[in-house]
Amino acid sequence: MNKTFNNKAWWMVLPVFLVVAFNALVPLMTVVNYSVQETFGNNEFFWSGTIWFQQLLDNDQIRASLGRQIIFTTVVLFIQVPLGLTIALCMPRKGPWVSVCLVLMALPLLVPWNVVGSMWNIMALPDIGLLGRTINAMGIHYNYTRDPVAAWFTVVLMDVWHWTSLVVLLCYAGLVSIPDAYYQAAKIDGARPWAVFRYIQLPKLKHVLTIAILLRFMDSFMIYTEVIVLTGGGPGSATKFLSIDLVQKALGGFDLGPAAAFSIVYFLIILLTSWLFYTLMMRNEAN
């Protein structure tokens, strides 16, 4: 659409700008402020330069959290994106069952995150949970509060339960928007199902898949509530991801400086990765 140039449009954007600026700029300035200062209480602050950032880079604990976070996000993306795409491709396009499917699938997305954690906690308890009991009955020793492997398995399964539907719904939205004429043309050409997927569906889904991967990357990188309720970051620190580490530092220890430096680096990682991914996807589109 060709838009007209009109600076008066700023008046319409102004309320949004003010609310978001109040909410985003003031806290971000606070964080930046803390990240370069040292405090001993009494609201007295001293300039400390980049010491917190240097400590952050040398901190083995944070590096371990970052490593776990990257592994978790990678695993979750590699399960949820193909799985979600497959389910969307297998779903009926018309008929009364479509609504039923969509409503049931959207349900996990509307469950409060701490309830997701509680739900899986109850589900996975080794003695009285459906999942825990079933796995133990199969002869596999399973206790997610003691065994790091079991804890990881439970956390990943919980995230698959919670978020795969987002990928399904996005892909499904993309699929139904492909006009019938494309499929008819493919039929006339005698295209096999694989060719239909590769040359018609996948290119048309590129946009929604980009959104799906971006959203899943961001949200899994910020995961906090579900994990803190389910495992509390344990056993030991086996499932301690970045947000858990950060909240412990900021609210538990009130280490303002280190926590602020951590916050800035954390935000920048997400911002840069998202930007890189988005730019790469869109450049391919331009070619």
| Near another protein in 211-230, by CB under 8 A | 211, 218, 221-222, 224-225
Footprint of another protein on 223-262 (CB under 8 A): 224-225, 242-243, 246-247, 250-251, 256, 259
Which residues on adjacent β-strands are paired with residue 39?
45
Footprint of another protein on 49-88 (CB under 8 A): 86-87
Q: Tell me the closest approach of the beta carbon of residue 149 to another protein, in angstroms.
A: 21
Enter the tokens of residue 157. 């399964």
Q: Which of 37, 144, 174, 261 binds another protein (CB under 8 A)?
A: 174
- 3-state class of 221 per DSSP? helix
Burial class (CB in 10 A: 0-12, 13-18, 19+), 232: middle
Q: Tell me the closest approach of the beta carbon of residue 96 to another protein, in angstroms.
A: 12
31 vs 152, which CB is nearer to another protein? 31
181 touches another protein by CB under 8 A: no
What mask, x for binding another protein by CB under 8 A, covers residues 125 to 164?
--xxxxx-x---------------------------x--x
150 vs 169, which CB is nearer to another protein? 169
Q: Which of 154, 165, 201, 231 binds another protein (CB under 8 A)?
A: 165
Q: Would you say 204 and 174 are in contact if contact means Cβ atoms under 8 Å apart?
A: yes
Pairing of strands 37-39, 45-47: antiparallel
Task: For residues 220 and 78, give the distance between their C-alpha atoms in angstroms, rounded to a whole number.
Answer: 12
Footprint of another protein on 21-40 (CB under 8 A): 22-24, 26-28, 30-31
Burial class (CB in 10 A: 0-12, 13-18, 19+), 212: buried
Task: For residues 172 and 88, give the distance between their C-alpha atoms in angstroms, rounded to a whole number.
Answer: 5
Q: Which of 70, 173, 186, 238 binds another protein (CB under 8 A)?
A: 173
How many CA within 13 A on the CB side of residue 276? 8
Q: Tell me the closest approach of the beta carbon of residue 148 to another protein, in angstroms.
A: 22
Task: For residues 84 and 198, give the distance between their C-alpha atoms in angstroms, rounded to a whole number.
Answer: 17
Task: For residues 107 and 82, give the distance between their C-alpha atoms in angstroms, rounded to a whole number.
Answer: 20
Q: Would you say 154 and 144 are in contact if contact means Cβ atoms under 8 Å apart?
A: yes
What mask, x for binding another protein by CB under 8 A, covers residues 83 to 122?
---xx-xxxx------x-xxxxxxxxxxxxxxx--xxx-x
155 vs 246, which CB is nearer to another protein? 246
